[in-house]
Amino acid sequence: VLDTVLLVFANKHDLPNAMNAAKIPDRLGLYPLHHRNWYIQATCATSKDEFYKGLDWLSIQLWNKK
């Protein structure tokens, strides 16, 4: 568990009432995990670019752990 990475997709960020991606770590309690790699990627299901950015980050994290 200590070597795990966490990728959170904050979907529907294109909607007017969507939570700002900067507020999500606080709501999920991620700040105490500062010694672990985690990343919040704001996404919209209609655009794959943001989704792939998150997967790119995850791929790099996993590659660096080898």
Asked if residues 45 and 11 have their Cβ atoms less than 8 Å apart, the reply is yes
Asked if residue 35 belongs to a known ligand binding site, the reply is: no
Asked if residues 6 and 38 have their Cβ atoms less than 8 Å apart, the reply is yes
Asked if residue 64 belongs to a known ligand binding site, the reply is: no
**Which residues does 49 contact at the CB level (< 8 Å), separation at least 6?**
none
> Annotated binding residues for GTP, as ranges?
11-14
> Annotated binding residues, as ranges?
11-14
